[in-house]
Each structure stands twice: as structure tokens, then as C-alpha cells.
Amino acid sequence: MNQRSSNLLDEALGLDQVIEPWPLRGRVVAIEDQVDTSGSFVLHHLLKRSLSPNSSNVAIFIAFSQPFSHYDRILRKLGCNLVSQRDNSRFFFFDMLKLQCPDGDEGITPEGGLIALYGKIHKTISALPEISWKNVSIIIDDLSLMEVAANGSSDYVLDFLQYCRTLTSEFDCSLITLNHEDIYSNEDRPTFFIQMEYLADILIKAEPLATGLATDVHGQLTVSNKGWNKVSNFHFKVKENVVECFYPGRSRG
């Protein structure tokens, strides 16, 4: 685990100091990315941080995008063993790849769909000891695929996210989501996307550089931390086992 190089991102999020109690407790973190600059690395990084061996934090991962093996492989390279974390009840993986909400139902039946998913998350957290509740992170990868699973009903997804927000108030846990900006870019008014920006306490945007593609710098991150009233911007390079974050002009090549 390369402590130094991820520090800029950790600093911007308050993760460079103690991680228990979890600094992101009670917060909604929204990661936005584009095709040119995938923000998945931020998700993986936050997952790795939350499962740090120095803590007893718990992560509930709602996967619409990839199967367990994919994340297991990536997190292994980052130095985190998801299989053993799962066995130790620190990592809960909800495989939603096959979820297809019943047509026209939009959540009327609690058996299927997003209502049931909410119920499952609530049950998982309630089953943990109360002392752990604020150290729980709910991670969703990703919202656009959740929308697809919900037959395109962004309202239904927003309702679900509203209920997830109530979990952050009730249990003081954190909610981390990933969404793709360019999917909504040709809409006149990308309501669903903008809603997330309003809901988020911390907004992390992964964008290409203004100057285009480069080998040494993969893109830039802008972290807007509403709670601290602070905005940070820095460049990043995604490597095999680590992500390097540095201020513009300070790439080590």
C-alpha cells in the first residue's frame, strides 16, 4: 500500500488521518467520470481504505457493473483480499447484475426490485453491532446501470437513493456512488445527473485534461467537499498497483 502517492485524494476526503471512526460517516460521496477518464479507481481506492486492516469498517458493495471476481482481482493488486474480508463479515457483496425490475411495477412489490434491495441493506446493517453502524460504507457501482435495471425509471432510482440517504441519517453510515457524466451529456436537462450533484456532500469529478490525452497524466480530479467548503484539483495516473495523485506539473513521469 503506497501511502504517500494517494495522499492528495485522501487529504481532500479527510482519509489521511484516522480512519476510525470512518471520516466519511453520514456523508454522500458522488463520483462522476467520463469514458476518457474512468472514475472506478476512486471507488476501488475508497473500498480499499474502508477495508483497511487498522479498522473494523464494513463495506456493502452493490454491484450492477461487474461480478465479484473482477473487484477481487483489482483489490488484490491494491493489497486487499476481498475473499477473506467477505468471510470475516467485513465485506458484503450484493450481485445485482441480473436484477431486472418487473415491468410497470416500479417498486410496488417489496419482493422484487429496489425496495427489496433497500430492505436487504437495512437488514444487513441492523444485524451488525450498533457500534459498527457509523463505520459502514454503502458503495454502488454504478447508478446508470441501476437505472437500466429499473427499466430506465430514474425516478425509481432517485427514490431508492432517497431511502439510502435515510440510512446515512439513521445509521450514520456513508453512501458512495459512481455515475457517468457523458451518458447524460446530450440531454437538454440531465435531471438525474444533476440531482446527484445536489444530493452529494462530497463530489469527485474525474475528467480529462484540458490539453487532451497524455501518457504521464491520465486525467484530473476535482474534489468538492461541501462540508469543509473546500475544492481541490489535482492530476492522477492510474498504475498497476497504485494510483498516483499529484499537483499539475509535478508528475514523476
Partner 1 sequence: MAESIYRALRDGALEGELAPALTIKDSVASPFALQVFSHVISHLFSSILAGKSQSRGLVVVSFSRSPSFYLDLLKNKGTDVASSNKQIQILDCYSDPLGWKDQLAGSRNFTALSNEALVSSNAIVFREVKHMDKLYNSIIELGKGLVGGGKIRFSIAIDSADEMLRHAPVSSVARLLSNLRSHDQISSIFWLLHSDLHEARVTAVLEYLSSIVASLEPSHQLANGQRGDLENFSLIKHNSKKGKFHVRFKKRNGRVRVMSEEVHIEQSGINFTSLPSEGAINQGLVPKVQFSLQLSEKERIDKANVVLPFEHQGNGKPIQIYDGRRSLVDSKHERPVAAVENVQTNENCGSGEIIYYRDSDDEMPDSDEDPDDDLDI
Q: For the chain, first and last CA: distance in Å?
A: 20
CA–CA dist 61, 49 (Å, integer): 14
Indicate the SS3 state at residue 154: helix
Site for partner 1 in 68-87 (CB under 8 A): none
Per-position x/- string for 192-221, each x denoting binding to partner 1 as judged by CB under 8 A, each - no binding: --xx-xx------x-xxxxx--------x-
**Per CB under 8 A, 20 contacts partner 1:** no
Q: Should residue 159 be labelled a site residue for partner 1 when binding is judged by CB under 8 A?
A: yes
88 binds partner 1, rule: CB under 8 A:
no
DSSP code for 83: H
Nearest to 29 by CA among 139, 114, 154, 192: 139
Would you say 54 or 198 has its CB closer to partner 1? Answer: 198
The single residue among 73, 191, 213, 239 that binds partner 1, judged by CB under 8 A, is 191
Backbone angles phi, psi at 12, to 5 degrees: -65, -25
Which CB atom, from 200 or from 243, has the smaller least distance to partner 1? 200
- Closest Cα to residue 92, out of 55, 50, 134? 50
Closer of 46 and 157 to partner 1 (Cβ) = 157
Neighbours of 12 (CB within 10 A): 23
Site map 124..153 versus partner 1, x via CB under 8 A: --x---------------------------
DSSP, collapsed to helix, strand or coil, labels residue 111 as coil
Nearest residue (CB) to partner 1, 117 versus 242: 117
What are the residues whose beta carbons fall under 8 Å from the beta carbon of 94, sequence distance 6 or more? Answer: 60, 61, 62, 63, 117, 120, 121
- Give the interface segment with partner 1, choosing from 38-46, 93-101, 191-199, 237-245 (CB under 8 A): 191-199
> Residues of 43-76 as b/e, b for ≥16 C-beta within 10 angstroms?
bbbbbbbbbbeebbbbbbbbbbbbebeebbebbe
C-alpha span between 136 and 171 (Å, rounded): 8
Residue 213 Cβ vs partner 1, minimum distance, rounded to whole Å: 12
Nearer to partner 1, 37 or 85 (CB): 37
Helix (H) or strand (E) holding 204: strand 202-207
Residue 82 Cβ, how far from partner 1 at the closest point, in Å?
26
Q: How far is the CB of 234 from partner 1 (least distance, A)?
A: 10
CB 166 → partner 1: shortest distance, Å?
5
Applying CB under 8 A, the residues found at the interface with partner 1 are: 107, 110-111, 115-116, 118-120, 122-123, 126, 155, 158-159, 162-163, 165-166, 169-170, 189, 191, 194-195, 197-198, 205, 207-211, 220, 222, 224, 228-229, 231, 233, 248
